[in-house]
Amino acid sequence: MSDRRGLQALWVFAVVSAIGYGLFGLDPTRVPDHPWVQAFYRASFALFARGQVALMLVVIGIALRRAAGWRWLPGLVLVFLLSLGVELLGTTTGLPFGPYHYTGLLGWRIQGEVPALIPLSWFAMCVPALGLGRAASPGLPRVGTWVVGAWLLTAWDLALDPAMSHLVPYWVWEVDGSWYGMPLLNLAGWFATGLFLLAALDLAGAGRWVDALPASWLQGYYVAVLATPVTMLLVAHAWPAVAVTVMGAGLPLAWLARRRSTAAAHPGAERVQAHTASLP
């Protein structure tokens, strides 16, 4: 699978998921009354969610393998362990996201709490978040990279939570939050967790292999992954969630596009800016 075909596969998955959810998820009476069709429908919510995480990992893994060999594997282990720790803290104490628990739709749960796919999905999106943060903030303090990346991760959740908790119960909030059932504390928790994971990844030297992936490809990957929950929200007519997500993700992506355009027009400008920022 080429890197371009990987992005195409993510888009096809998003469109197929949205069509299936729009036709049958919103109105189960449309499902044909045949035993195997009914059985597939009952299993489809689990299969599609697990399939998306698996596809994300395959696409980002192949791209990283081609660009950077296997240097990214320690980063995968690092993010897996750290995000698992945060998620276990969240499901047992309610911090930093708010009180919630995962259902069985995402598969085997570590210690009966956190599906193993969740830390893997954190890694699959921390890579583009860190890469795009680095591309968007050359010459800024290192923490600027983490802030931009954490913003992108939080923008992803603006669509992810309404789609994967409100529309389909992959996890359940134990309070009645104001954003499609989600407490606003969760956004602060996502931003803080994003900062933590991206800082750890960056300080561990991930920039050496993240930068091997073109920013344009990372942006395409991020948008393609974001498309799955956004298209589900579109067919469910959840317009506020769609609008806020587009604005939340669009701001840093537009900033990145502008910086890339400026760098292309003035190839020496970013290097001078970065050198100046590194001076004492």
Q: What is the DSSP string of 143-206?
A: HHHHHHHHHHHHHHHHHHHIIIIIIS-SEEESS-BTBTBB-THHHHHHHHHHHHHHHHHHHTTT
Residue 70 burial (CB count, 10 A): 11
Q: Residue 76's pLDDT is what?
A: 98
Q: Residue 13's pLDDT is what?
A: 96
Question: What is the distance between the alpha carbons of residues 182 and 95, in angstroms, rounded to a whole number?
Answer: 14
pLDDT tens string for the chain (280 positions)?
668 899 999 999 999 999 999 999 999 999 999 899 999 998 999 999 999 999 999 999 999 999 999 999 999 999 999 999 999 999 999 999 999 999 999 999 999 999 999 999 999 999 999 999 998 877 778 999 999 999 999 999 999 999 999 999 999 999 999 999 999 999 999 999 999 999 999 999 999 999 999 999 999 999 999 999 999 999 999 999 999 999 999 998 998 888 777 766 665 544 444 433 333 3
Q: Which domain holds residue 24?
A: 3-278
Burial of 54 (0-12, 13-18, 19+ CB in 10 A): middle
User: Following CA atoms 178, 181, 187, 192 in sequence, which dihedral angle do they give, to the nearest 10 degrees?
Assistant: 130
pTM listed for this prediction: 0.91
Q: Tens digit of pLDDT for each residue in 154-190? A: 999 999 999 999 999 999 999 999 999 999 999 999 9
Q: Residue 263's pLDDT is what?
A: 64
Residue 107 phi/psi, 5-degree rounding, is 95, -160
Mean pLDDT in the chain? Answer: 92
Give exposure, 228-264, as e/b (b: 16+ Cβ within 10 Å): bbbbbbbbbebeebbeebbebbeebbeebeebbeebe
The domain total for the chain is: 1
Q: What SS3 state is found at 10?
A: helix
Q: Residue 1's pLDDT is what?
A: 66
Residue 177 phi/psi, 5-degree rounding, is -75, 170
User: Following CA atoms 115, 117, 123, 129 in sequence, which dihedral angle do they give, to the nearest 10 degrees?
Assistant: -90
Q: Residue 264's pLDDT is what?
A: 62
Judge contact between 110 and 88, C-beta under 8 A.
yes
Give the closest residue to 204 by CA, choosing from 29, 81, 67, 45. Answer: 81
Judge contact between 148 and 137, C-beta under 8 A.
yes
Q: Residue 69's pLDDT is what?
A: 96
The total number of residues written for the chain in this structure: 280
